[in-house]
Amino acid sequence: MDFEDVYAREHVTRKFLNRKVNEKTIAQIIRAAQNSPSLLNSQPWRAYAVMGDALQDLRKEYEAMVQEGAHAHEDFASMLSLHWDTFPSQNMANLGASQTYFFNNKLELFNDSNNTMFNAPCVIYLTIPKESPAWSVFDLGIFGQSIMLLALNKGLAVMPAHSLVAYPELVRKYAGIPEDESVGMAIGIGYEDKKAEVNDAKFIPKRLPLKSIYKLTK
Ligand SMILES: Cc1cc2nc3c(=O)[nH]c(=O)nc-3n(C[C@H](O)[C@H](O)[C@H](O)COP(=O)(O)O)c2cc1C
């Protein structure tokens, strides 16, 4: 696929079809994503794919915890400072994904999709060592972006979501992640359910005008 076309497809998918993804394809994607740059080639990332019966069981426990109202406690929330400047906070309040659903009077579509792990047939959990500098978070983000673009190029759809890592102990149990790694992010991968309302293009949040984020000096 032409790179511009791949990039133009980069919007999240909040409901996947039941169709399985090929495990060899996932391994190929991760192998290719290892080409991503990282500080001094530190390659701090690790990727843990969960699918099939293991994901079914994980999802069951996840949904039960959501139903109980279990408090989300992502590893990054304890590992990193989460004090946000007003600039991103205001963007979330004005242009955030949940706002877009809210203003269309469809917030329940957003919540239901998150609460059911987007029906993803495969989730890739991404970790870095707990003892990491901020650079490693940057490296993990690049690695995640590589995974998503490579997946889109293969006709797959992607869903990066911190809600997928809300209960790290569950992820550790099913993915076999050691205690000294921080479960940073997760990406759901599969085939888009094009009929699902939650995936409608009207829910893609707008971006800021270029001039508010870009400045050229010469
Ligand atoms: C780090 C990160 C965490 C995210 N977490 C969630 C999430 O928990 N739930 C969700 O529905 N979307 C989540 N998203 C998706 C964003 O809401 C989405 O990318 C953004 O609103 C822009 O929409 P678009 O990607 O469709 O253009 C996350 C995206 C990123 C990069």
- pLDDT for position 35: 98
Comparing 68 with 94, the larger pLDDT belongs to 68
How distant is the alpha carbon of residue 74 from its chain centre?
A: 13
- Ligand 1 atom nearest the C-alpha of 96 is 21
- pLDDT for position 196: 98
161 alpha carbon – ligand 1 mean position (Å): 6
Place of tokens 């239901």: 112
Measured CA distances, 187 to 2, 86, 183, 190, 205 (Å):
23, 27, 12, 10, 19
Contact 12 CB / ligand 1 (< 6 Å): yes
Which residue's CA is the nearest one to ligand 1's atom 21?
A: 97
> What span, in angstroms and rounded, lies between the C-alpha atoms of 12 and 186?
13
The pair of structure tokens assigned to 186 is 């997760």
pLDDT, the chain, mean = 96
DSSP track, 155-172: T-EEEE-GGGGS-HHHHH
- pLDDT for position 93: 87
Which residue's CA is the nearest one to ligand 1's atom 26?
A: 11
Which residue's CA is the nearest one to ligand 1's atom 14?
A: 161
For residue 184, is pLDDT > 90? yes
Which residue's CA is the nearest one to ligand 1's atom 19?
A: 12
- How many percent of the chain have pLDDT more than 90? 89
Measured CA distances, 15 to 125, 178, 189 (Å):
18, 30, 10
pLDDT tens for 117-164 read 999 999 999 999 999 999 999 999 999 999 999 999 999 999 999 999
Contact 114 CB / ligand 1 (< 6 Å): yes
- pLDDT for position 37: 98
154 alpha carbon – ligand 1 mean position (Å): 21
pLDDT classification of 95: cutoffs 50, 70, 90? confident
Selection from 21, 39, 5 nearest residue 159 by Cα: 21
Contact 160 CB / ligand 1 (< 6 Å): yes
- pLDDT for position 147: 98
- Ligand 1 atom nearest the C-alpha of 100 is 21
Comparing 174 with 80, the larger pLDDT belongs to 174
- pLDDT for position 112: 97
Residue 178, Cβ density class (10 Å: 0-12 exposed, 13-18 middle, ≥19 buried):
exposed
160 alpha carbon – ligand 1 mean position (Å): 6
- Ligand 1 atom nearest the C-alpha of 144 is 31
Selection from 193, 160, 188 nearest residue 55 by Cα: 188
Phi/psi for 7 (5° steps) reads -65, -35
Which residue's CA is the nearest one to ligand 1's atom 20?
A: 97
pLDDT tens for 65-92 read 999 999 999 999 988 877 888 999 889 8
Size of the chain in residues? 218
Q: Which CATH class is domain 3-212?
A: alpha beta
